């Protein structure tokens, strides 16, 4: 098994569904703890119109505040949807740009106001501009395993978008299960198909736990050779433009599973549990995550 790379998206995907706006100072506290945990990539926010997603209104400020601080090897990522978002991201220190296209026509129109074909052409152009600026780019296919409005999404629709990415020279590709419809067998099958399309491809996954299959699907993706896993502290999150929004795969539950499998022992699980507990206290409710409430099992080597 290759070293799994943890891409923490709680400050973006995790918070975008929350009605209670989190002030910048509170986000900074949680971000500091996440950095200390030793996860590999942290998504600080998205560059969207503050009127549509008020929770992301201070994304630029958060990047500027932390870009100059010591943070070891942690990479900061940001989500962009259009040219203006790219411009803002370039101005405030984004290192990894994430952007994507939905494989569902209905979800694409609700999320971007564009057809899949229109969105694909636009995102590819933006991605190439980011690469010209010397930035790392990850492109995604959203609703890759199903759509809350349309139901099943044909695999050929996903492959068509991946082909467009590869033709443009974009080789770091994420499949996002926006509606939470994925099952482990389909995850292994479609990632296996995509990895055979190019020797240069690097695969990432982004699963939602809408129907309780998030962690199982993540494990299936790892078995299929996926290296980058996107997850959210506490299991927060959900897409505001899908029919039924479900939280993300929970970061501390994911790390706990990996450590039980003798992987990623370098990540400080206690920091993640502390962060999840702090977020639970802030919102005054239990979060979808499990291990922050139950506590972790002793590491395998401790009982060998």
The residues carrying an active-site annotation are 239
Strand-pair partners of 46: 79
Rounded to an integer, what is the distance from CA 31 to the centroid of its chain?
Answer: 16
Q: Which long-range contacts (CB under 8 A, 24 or more apart) does 52-58 make?
A: 53/16, 53/240, 54/21, 55/15, 55/16, 55/18, 55/21, 55/22, 56/12, 56/15, 56/16, 58/24, 58/27
Report strand pairing: 5-8 vs 96-102: unpaired
Q: For residues 111 and 142, is the Cβ–Cβ distance under 8 A? A: yes
Q: For residues 255 and 269, is the Cβ–Cβ distance under 8 A? A: yes
Interatomic CA distance for residues 270 and 277, integer angstroms: 10
Interatomic CA distance for residues 238 and 16, integer angstroms: 8
Q: Which of 263, 238, 233, 237 is nearest to 250 (CA)?
A: 233
Q: Which of 167, 172, 160 is nearest to 201 (CA)?
A: 172
Q: For residues 249 and 207, is the Cβ–Cβ distance under 8 A? A: yes
Coil, helix or strand for 98? strand
């Amino acid at each position: 098994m290759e070293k799994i790379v943890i891409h923490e998206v709680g400050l973006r995907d995790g918070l975008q569904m929350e009605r209670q706006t989190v002030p910048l100072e509170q986000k900074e506290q949680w971000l500091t703890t996440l950095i200390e945990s030793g996860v590999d990539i942290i998504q600080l926010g998205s560059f969207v119109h503050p009127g549509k997603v008020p929770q992301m209104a201070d994304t630029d400020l958060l990047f500027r505040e932390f870009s100059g601080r010591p943070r070891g090897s942690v990479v900061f990522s940001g989500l962009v949807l259009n040219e203006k978002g790219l411009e803002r991201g370039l101005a405030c220190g984004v290192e990894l740009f994430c952007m994507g296209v939905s494989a569902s026509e209905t979800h694409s129109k609700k999320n971007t106001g564009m057809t899949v074909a229109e969105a694909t052409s636009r995102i590819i152009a933006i991605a190439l501009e980011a690469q010209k600026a010397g930035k790392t780019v990850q492109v995604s296919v959203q609703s890759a395993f199903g759509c809350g409005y349309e139901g099943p999404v044909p695999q050929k629709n996903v492959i068509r978008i991946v082909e467009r990415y590869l033709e443009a020279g974009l080789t770091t590709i994420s499949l996002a299960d926006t509606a939470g419809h994925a099952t482990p067998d389909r995850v292994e099958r479609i990632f296996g198909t995509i990895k055979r399309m190019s020797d240069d491809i690097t695969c990432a996954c982004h699963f939602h736990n809408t129907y309780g299959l998030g962690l199982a699907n993540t494990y299936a993706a790892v078995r299929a050779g996926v290296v980058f896993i996107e997850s959210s502290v506490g299991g927060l999150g959900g897409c505001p433009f899908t029919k039924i929004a479900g939280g993300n795969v929970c970061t501390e539950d994911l790390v706990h599973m990996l450590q039980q499998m003798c992987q990623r022992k370098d990540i400080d699980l206690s920091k993640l549990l502390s962060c999840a507990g702090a977020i639970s206290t802030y919102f005054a409710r239990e979060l979808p995550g499990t291990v922050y409430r139950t506590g972790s099992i002793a590491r395998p080597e401790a009982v060998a």
